[in-house]
Amino acid sequence: MKIGCIQLNVRFGKIEENYERAEHFIREAASRGAEVVVLPEMWNTGYALEKLSELADKEGTRTKEFLKGLAKELEIHIVGGSVAIERDGKLYNTMYIVNKDGELLSEYNKVHLFRLMNEDQFLESGDEMNRFTLGEMEAGGVICYDIRFPEWLRAHALAGAKVLFVSAQWPTPRIDHWKTLLQARAIENQCFIVAINRISNKPENFNGQSMIIEPWGEVLWTGAEDEELAIVDVDFSKVDEVRTRIPVYEDRRPSLYTGVVKEQI
């Protein structure tokens, strides 16, 4: 499957520019043969948290129609990164997944809110998994801070996901954590990780370095520190090969993982 990785320079609070740039890259990816494209986190507004009450997409209507229209026209699957939406008077960081027929497959509200950036003061957290099928490929999707919770990504893998899409706005000072955590999530879940970060101009500090990692932990592609579109051909049959060679899933002992560990004094 050819994956179009859109490492977008998200303009802080500039909604029209962000939709225009996203469309430009989605169209270019389709013209270059991509079968699925992936966008970064909060690409419609950036982290303009204090302005989201006026900037957020109401009910996600614009974004859903935007993604569904392009997907159907271009016959391309879209992992829609995430956008800021407003629903019932509350704000969410939401990922939409649309297939090449223009059908909305899944919508996911970010479960783990990053208190260091005050997300919890402005956004509501979700409480459901993000599982979907692209063509015949079982997949899952998470957002940024979620990758620091291995049990959350493992839950998606146990439910059948062979590729986990990650959309992020991961800051430059902790980019080494980004790289290490993504490789660990790929190795421990024996799945592909397709992780798209953003880059930015001031006042935010994000430097891209998006990644595609295969189940052995090998990095197939790393993005630059600038806006770019990369088309990466991924062979998902590698998942079954790795899981057969090292049968981690068969050797699990879940009965030992669910008990309460009492503090020893």
In this prediction, residues 143-164 reach a mean pLDDT of 97
**Amino acid 259: pLDDT:** 64
**Amino acid 265: pLDDT:** 41
* pLDDT value at 55 more than 70: yes
* pLDDT value at 88 more than 80: yes
* pLDDT value at 261 more than 60: no
**Amino acid 205: pLDDT:** 87
Q: Which of 104, 116, 188 is nearest to 152 (CA)?
A: 188
Confidence of residue 200 (pLDDT cuts 50, 70, 90): confident
What is the C-alpha to C-alpha distance for residues 105 and 29, in angstroms, rounded to an integer? 21
Where is pLDDT greater, at 258 or 141?
A: 141
Confidence of residue 255 (pLDDT cuts 50, 70, 90): confident
List the Cα angle 97/127/205 in 5-degree steps: 65
**Amino acid 95: pLDDT:** 98
Q: What are the residues facing 98 on neighbouring strands? A: 78, 104
* Catalytic residue from among 64, 68, 100, 110: 110
Confidence of residue 204 (pLDDT cuts 50, 70, 90): low
Per residue in 98-128, pLDDT tens? Answer: 999 999 999 999 999 999 989 999 999 999 9
Strands 2-7 and 36-38, by their bridges, are: parallel
Q: In whole numbers, what is the pLDDT of the chain averaged over residues? A: 94
Q: Which fold has domain 2-246?
A: Nitrilase/N-carbamoyl-D-aminoacid amidohydrolase (3.60.110)
The pLDDT > 70 percentage for the chain reads: 96
Strands 36-38 and 77-79, by their bridges, are: parallel
Sheet strands (E) in the chain: 2-7, 36-38, 57-58, 77-79, 83-87, 90-98, 104-109, 131-134, 137-143, 163-167, 192-196, 211-213, 219-222, 228-233
What is the C-alpha to C-alpha distance for residues 265 and 262, in angstroms, rounded to an integer? 9
**Amino acid 112: pLDDT:** 98
**Amino acid 201: pLDDT:** 64
* Catalytic residue from among 5, 35, 41, 100: 41
DSSP string, 18-79: HHHHHHHHHHHHHHTT-SEEE--TTTTT-S-GGGHHHHSEETTHHHHHHHHHHHHHHT-EEE
pTM over 0.85: yes
- Is residue 20 part of the annotated active site? The answer reads no
Where is pLDDT greater, at 67 or 205?
A: 67
- Is the omega angle on the peptide bond into residue 171 within 30 degrees of 0, that is, cis? no
- Is residue 191 part of the annotated active site? The answer reads no
* pLDDT value at 257 more than 60: yes
What is the C-alpha to C-alpha distance for residues 56 and 13, in angstroms, rounded to an integer? 10
In this prediction, residues 77-94 reach a mean pLDDT of 97
Per residue in 214-245, pLDDT tens? Answer: 999 999 999 999 999 999 999 999 999 999 99
Per residue in 7-17, pLDDT tens? Answer: 999 999 999 99
* pLDDT value at 246 more than 70: yes
Helices (H) and strands (E) in the chain, counts: 8, 14
Strands 90-98 and 104-109, by their bridges, are: antiparallel
What is the C-alpha to C-alpha distance for residues 208 and 228, in angstroms, rounded to an integer? 9
Neighbour tally for 265: CB within 10 Å:
3
**Amino acid 263: pLDDT:** 47
**Amino acid 157: pLDDT:** 97
* Catalytic residue from among 5, 119, 138, 144: 144
* Residues 6 or more apart whose Cβ sits within 8 Å of residue 55: 13, 15, 44, 45, 48, 84
* pLDDT value at 53 more than 80: yes
- Is residue 5 part of the annotated active site? The answer reads no
